[in-house]
Structure 1
Amino acid sequence: MPQEHSQPNRPGHESEMDRKPVSQDSKHRGSGKLEGKAAIITGGDSGIGRAVAIAFAKEGADIAIVYLNEHDDAEETKRLVEEKRGRCLLIAGDAGGEEFCRKAVEQTVNELGKLDVLVNNAAEQHPQESIEDITAEQLERTFSLVQCKMSLKLKFVSNTR
């Protein structure tokens, strides 16, 4: 991996990146397609998650952002969401943990009144020069977060209906 693009384990802190991802489309105005809906977006503090949060807010949704520990990024995303729509809840913690997922869904329903949309965007990478350098622990964590925890989140969300 070229040095200028390398970061330690990801998720990373978008606020520290030299080249930041584009999170907003100034031409998209929103048309109320998600008016009255509540969404929880894991990994919603930066990158694709931030873009989804902003787009959903433009469409009228209330947003709960689940993020790991990138507090500056999360606060900036909250500011951008509130600028577009109004309600944005920040929930810091590890989306890879079953008990945290249950509590995040519960907190979202308690504070936003309901939960209509679940965006499973949380992910983690461990950049390596070669695939042979990836440890079993890194691989397990990556797949656990992306695959297995999706089922857990769906389990808790289905109980809110």
Structure 2
Amino acid sequence: MAKTDVEPMIHEDALPGEEGKLDPKPDWQPRYAGSARLKDKVAIITGADSGIGRAVAALYAREGADIAIFYLCEHEDAENTKKIVEAEGRRAILVPGDLGNPDFAPKAVQKVIDTFGRLDIVVNNAGEQHPDEDIRDITDDQLRRTFQSNIFSMFYLVQAARPHLNKGAAIINCTSVTMYKGSEKLLDYSATKGAITAFTRSLSANLVGDGIRVNAVAPGPIWTPLNPFGGKPAKEIPDFGKDTPMGRPGQPNEVAPAFLFLACEDASYMTGQVLHPNGGIIVNG
């Protein structure tokens, strides 16, 4: 790693967290039969071991895609996602590693090409968050690490993937409702999500001439390992998502269809856009 990089903060808290230990379990199962909208496509999905990433992997597989499961260190969860993809009749490979390390992406993408021979979709979903009451509590290591994981990783992965993306390819980035309405206890995280939205819009303009679409999804509060395993104060978990107009957190399989729509030909006239599965929060953007 570059000397300015910071190791993942998996010893400071429980992140990234194990989906198998969550109670209740998140709903990742696709809600409808597939219609071959991604037939024989190949997708990289980061953070696909659990949460939104797992739900996207399951839905993409049902729609006919082979999946490269990029994840940090939750090997059991990743193996379960692989089994889910294979149960849909598609191929999957596990690609563990730190996306915040600039040396990881080129090797990881090459593994995908060596295995599947092509790359059609990149889903930049992985991320981390660390709550702080006071901006003075955000350490330099935490600040650097959050930006490495949440936005630097997207640059690294797109740079590595770009030579293999042809006309018709799609890139979908995961931003957040916090980019639009802010979050008083997630200052560094929200800042990275603002950067992701700007990156999405700028990259879409950069690649539109090559026929590559770039869009984003901005989820609201979704029941995944991210918050219960250190991404939110424990005392706030019982009320997680209750402040949305729908009065509850969303499930990963309520977000995955947004990622599917943006990946397939249904969204052929959309680039530089953001979809908002957030329980009814009006963000005007």
- Do they fold alike, i.e. is TM over 0.5? yes
SS of 1:52's equivalent in the other structure is helix
In the alignment, the residues of structure 2 paired with residue 58 and residue 64 of structure 1 have an alpha-carbon distance, to the nearest angstrom, of: 15
- In the TM superposition, structure 1's runs of 4+ consecutive aligned residues that sit over 6 Å from their partners are none
Q: CA deviation at 1:9?
A: 4.1
- The code of the aligned residue for 1:155 comes to Q
Which residue does the alignment assign to 1:105? 109
- The code of the aligned residue for 1:53 comes to A
In the alignment, the residues of structure 2 paired with residue 94 and residue 50 of structure 1 have an alpha-carbon distance, to the nearest angstrom, of: 18
CA RMSD between the two structures? 1.6
The structure with the largest alpha-carbon Rg is: 2
Higher relative contact order (CA 8 A, sep 6+): 1
Bigger shift: 74-83 or 13-22?
Answer: 13-22
* Residues 39 and 62, structure 1, Cα contact 8 Å, conserved in 2: yes
In the alignment, the residues of structure 1 paired with residue 25 and residue 16 of structure 2 have an alpha-carbon distance, to the nearest angstrom, of: 14
In the alignment, the residues of structure 2 paired with residue 44 and residue 82 of structure 1 have an alpha-carbon distance, to the nearest angstrom, of: 14
In the alignment, the residues of structure 2 paired with residue 134 and residue 104 of structure 1 have an alpha-carbon distance, to the nearest angstrom, of: 31
* Residues 45 and 70, structure 2, Cα contact 8 Å, conserved in 1: yes
SS of 1:22's equivalent in the other structure is coil
- The code of the aligned residue for 2:83 comes to R
Which residue does the alignment assign to 2:13? 8
- The code of the aligned residue for 1:150 comes to M
* Residues 65 and 90, structure 2, Cα contact 8 Å, conserved in 1: no
In the alignment, the residues of structure 1 paired with residue 58 and residue 98 of structure 2 have an alpha-carbon distance, to the nearest angstrom, of: 22
Cα deviation, 1:101-134, whole Å, max 9, x if unaligned, reads 1111100011011111000111112244x14333
Which residue does the alignment assign to 2:93? 89
Structure 2 unaligned runs (5+)?
1-11, 166-285
Which residue does the alignment assign to 1:154? 158
* Residues 98 and 149, structure 1, Cα contact 8 Å, conserved in 2: yes
Which residue does the alignment assign to 1:4? none
Which residue does the alignment assign to 2:8? none
Cα deviation, 1:19-48, whole Å, max 9, x if unaligned, reads 2221113x3211111101100011000000
Cα deviation, 1:64-123, whole Å, max 9, x if unaligned, reads 001111011001111111101320000111111111111111000110111110001111
Q: Identity of paired residues, percent?
A: 48
Which residue does the alignment assign to 1:80? 84
In the alignment, the residues of structure 2 paired with residue 61 and residue 85 of structure 1 have an alpha-carbon distance, to the nearest angstrom, of: 9
Bigger shift: 7-16 or 33-42?
Answer: 7-16
In the alignment, the residues of structure 2 paired with residue 50 and residue 81 of structure 1 have an alpha-carbon distance, to the nearest angstrom, of: 9
Alignment size in residue pairs: 153
The alpha-carbon distance between structure 1 residues 131 and 101, as it changes in their structure 2 partners (threshold 3 A), is farther
In the alignment, the residues of structure 2 paired with residue 155 and residue 45 of structure 1 have an alpha-carbon distance, to the nearest angstrom, of: 23
SS of 1:155's equivalent in the other structure is helix
Task: Kindly indicate whether residue 55 of structure 2 is the aligned counterpart of residue 51 of structure 1.
Answer: yes
In the alignment, the residues of structure 2 paired with residue 77 and residue 110 of structure 1 have an alpha-carbon distance, to the nearest angstrom, of: 21
Match of 1:134 among 133, 138, 143: 138
- The code of the aligned residue for 2:16 comes to P
* Residues 46 and 71, structure 2, Cα contact 8 Å, conserved in 1: yes
SS of 1:80's equivalent in the other structure is helix
Instruction: Give the TM-score taking structure 2 as reference length.
Output: 0.51
